[in-house]
Structure 1
Amino acid sequence: MSLAKDKPYFAQPSDYEDDVHAWAFEQAQLLRLGRFSEVDLPNVIEELESLGREVQELISGAYRDLIAALLEWEADPSSRTRENATLILKARFTIEDEEKEARSLREDAKRTVEAVYPDAVHLAMAATGLPRGCFPIECPYELAFLRDLDALPGSLPDGE
């Protein structure tokens, strides 16, 4: 006796190695239908872990870029441009959006800031040409300041 469920849902399932996009949607459909025996479990696990790492890297990168831009803003008055203000705001939007979706990363943001601060300083050094000694040893910005969409250390020069 053959049951319809014995027949694979996808006659020619997508291969993870060849088309991860189609594969992902097929895996989601199989999970929705409860066809767990057809799910490519090892690769689903790998992709879920990868997704978590990507979100962490996105938030870390946004904090790094934000802090670097703020350090540059303070250290080099010529960097106080609308373009740099826009970069700061975009980094904050990314942080806000991603932390809404990943509360555990929001709760761990202080550790993230501490981890990315040395790289942010290197970026600020490269942008300004200033030596390491011109920047604080530890991040001078509180999380509330980093997350505040309107906060800038100083203001745009007149006429910018």
Structure 2
Amino acid sequence: MIQGKKIDTYETDFYQWTMEQSEALREQNLEKLDWENIIEEIEALGRSDYQAVISLLTRMIQHKLKIDYANQPQTNRHWQAEIKAFSNSIKRRYSPSMKPKLEGEWEGIYSDAIDLYLIDYPGCDFPEICPYLLNDILNQCKKPK
């Protein structure tokens, strides 16, 4: 205690806070749980994974466009390896409940991919509407059964 105030471990030592909270959860000690910050952290985990999936999908589309529209066959193997790496990362972070939100943002994701594509290949053609379906890309990223 400092001048009658409890030190907020969440603010001063996040790692220690996580250890204390996980112990309280294991013990089912409700009084020791920092509900407000636990709720914030759980929500942040979901947002973080969702934003990571958007970023990975954007990069995946960018590289698919490079293969399909940039007409640079000598680099295709490299772009295919990048697509596989993005797919593997999506596989670890994607949750089925993200799909409806991703569908709603698909045009924006495609637009972001076009912006990145045009940095590398200015003036190259590309389709106005995304030639890739979200379902097809997600199926490419499925976890093995």
Same fold? TM cut 0.5: yes
What's the CA shift for 1:149? 4.2
Rg comparison, structure with higher value = 1
What amino acid is the match of 1:143?
A: L
Query: Are the aligned partners of 1:60 and 1:113 in contact in 2 as well (CA < 8 Å)?
Result: no
Give 1:49's aligned residue: 43
What's the CA shift for 1:115? 2.9
What's the CA shift for 1:20? 1.7
What's the CA shift for 1:85? 1.1
Give TM-score, length-normalised by structure 1: 0.73
Paired residues, number: 135
Give 1:33's aligned residue: 27
Give 1:17's aligned residue: 11
Distance 1:26 1:130 in 2: 55
Find 2:120's aligned residue among 124, 127, 151: 127
SS in 1 for 2:127: coil
What amino acid is the match of 1:124?
A: Y
Query: Are the aligned partners of 1:31 and 1:39 in contact in 2 as well (CA < 8 Å)?
Result: yes
Q: Provide structure 1 residue ranges, at least 5 long, that are not aligned to the other structure.
A: 1-11, 151-160
Distance 2:16 2:107 in 1: 38
What amino acid is the match of 2:11?
A: E
Q: Deviations over 1:36-88 (max 9, x none)?
A: 11111111111111101001001111110001111122221226332211111
RMSD between superposed Cα atoms in Å: 2.4
Find 2:136's aligned residue among 142, 145, 155: 145
Query: Are the aligned partners of 1:60 and 1:116 in contact in 2 as well (CA < 8 Å)?
Result: yes
Find 1:105's aligned residue among 90, 98, 101: 98
Give TM-score, length-normalised by structure 2: 0.79
The structure in which a higher percent of residues are helix is 2
Identity over aligned pairs, percent: 25
Give 1:136's aligned residue: 127
Distance 2:14 2:107 in 1: 35
